[in-house]
Homo-oligomer: A and B are copies of this chain.
Amino acid sequence: MEHLMALQCICCGRQYTPAEVEYTCPACGVRGILEVLYDYKRIAADFSKETLTANPDRSIWRYRPLLPVEPSSPVPSLHVGNSPLYPVDRLRVALGMSRLWVKDDGRNPTASLKDRASAVGIVKALECGAQVVTCASTGNAAASWAGMAASLGLPCTIFVPKTAPQGKLAQLLIFGATVFPVEGTYDDAFALAIQATARFGWYNRNTAYNPYLVEGKKTVALELAEQMNWQVPDVVFVPVGDGCILSGVFKGFVDLLSLGWIERIPTIIGVQSEGSRVLEMAWRTHSPLSFAPSSTVADSIAAGMPANGEMALRDLYRWDGRMVAVPDAEILAAMRLLGEKTGIFAEPAAAASLAGLRAALKRGWVREDQTIVLLVTGNGLKDVGSALSTVTMPNPIAPTLEAVEKALLDQTETRSSSKPTFGSSESVQRP
């Protein structure tokens, strides 16, 4: 890995080679998150916009020269990345924003952005000869890790809060992972996974503990920039729990800026739930991160003590990013608005970026005429319960035309005026 200069501790600045250290800085412990530093000059010698354009591989591995893996390492066959970037015409009209885009990362193999990190992580696991892999997760990272492990035949143990949504648990068990539902929070599961890693010699994918995950997550920014023909947007909205995706998005743009492929870093706005806002609070008050119990419908961004908090704060300050917190009710409303206006079904955490945009508009942080991208980080099918909690399940009807007519009439009467009135003489369509 001659393109990789060092792993540097974000706390003390010490540098290590990848052979010297596996997870965090030995001097600083778990707070000492290691950042991967690249030799961009060396990378640029063989890697250009032109070589990229000529590469038919549409997965994240098209960015391999910017990833922390050996050039010859085998990669999992599950196809990660190349998620669509949509112009979302109807949402543009609804919000009066002419240059709004949505990047739907729920289209990844296990239906979340976490597949980007797991793909890179599992290559690192194979490189160091791992025989068992593990991680703690609120659900998506685990499902993704278990899926990658299944595709490669690596036994996988997973620690999740026992409250994880059924969809995510189902994925884990179908992928054959050994699952430990932990009586406690995500933070408890996180700590336990690290202890178990030390005790049993497993390979660990915990967010902000394993230094290579941010590198996988950054591919979403690389891809976004390429999809926009290297004209980066003005603002990108990113859902934030541990802050690892946030740092990944920054890192991707920093890579491209270092290579001279883009001219600036977009304004990145991280979005938390008001029920899990430790990072937003620290950023807003310029104070240290301070644990607070999390409680939010957006389980994927619930983190009482954001594991990647220090790095995320550093990135926010360095690149003039911002943080906003939104109520759960706004997140659920955003989930519906996104579904109704785009046909994209986002899990609550993933819809937080739209809720964040609406909050940022109110505060005057963004303007309607800016180029703005919302990152949708996971599919709504992951957490059907939350979706169903925001809608009214209609009553069953008898299989007769009369029953349909009556139901339409009832709905017309109770429905808000914004909905079409089916069955009225104006709206009936006779082809």
Contacts and interface: CB of A to CB of B under 8 A. Distances in A.
B128 A394 contact: no
A420 interface: yes
Given A192-B400, A381-B381, A397-B183, A422 B132 contact: yes
A305 to B, nearest CB: 14
Given A132-B427, A342-B150, A391 B174 contact: yes
Contacts of A169: 388, 393
Given A167-B381, A431-B130, A173 B399 contact: no
Interface string A71-113: 0000011110000101111100000000000001001011100
Contacts of A273: none
Most chain B CB neighbours (cut-off 10 Å) among A89, A130, A343, A382: A343
Contacts of A151: 90, 342-343
Contact of A379 (B89, B192, B381, B408): B381
Interface string A183-222: 1100011011001100111110000000000000000000
B397 A180 contact: yes
Given A58-B58, A394-B180, A397-B180, A335 B107 contact: no
A430 interface: yes
A353 interface: no
A381 B171 contact: yes
Copies of this chain, count: 2
A291 B38 CA distance: 66
A399 B183 contact: yes
Given A180-B397, A196-B404, A401-B196, A131 B87 contact: no
A36 interface: no
Interface string A103-147: 010010111000000000000000011111000000000000011
Nearest to A200: B428
A380 interface: yes
Interface residues of A, number: 102
Given A173-B387, A422-B155, A395 B166 contact: no
Given A188-B399, A200-B423, A343-B110, A388 B173 contact: yes
Contacts of A9: none
B132 A420 contact: yes
Contacts of A153: 90, 341
Contact of A150 (B199, B340, B391, B408): B340
Interface of A: 22, 58, 76-79, 84, 86-90, 104, 107, 109-111, 128-132, 146-153, 155, 157, 162, 166-167, 169-171, 173-176, 178-184, 188-189, 191-192, 195-196, 199-203, 335-336, 339-345, 379-382, 384, 387-388, 390-401, 404-405, 407-408, 411, 419-420, 422-423, 427-431
29 contacts: A77-B89, A78-B343, A79-B86, A107-B109, A111-B381, A129-B429, A131-B427, A147-B345, A151-B343, A155-B419, A167-B167, A169-B388, A170-B391, A171-B387, A173-B387, A173-B392, A173-B393, A174-B339, A174-B387, A176-B339, A180-B404, A181-B394, A181-B396, A181-B397, A183-B399, A184-B398, A191-B399, A192-B404, A199-B404
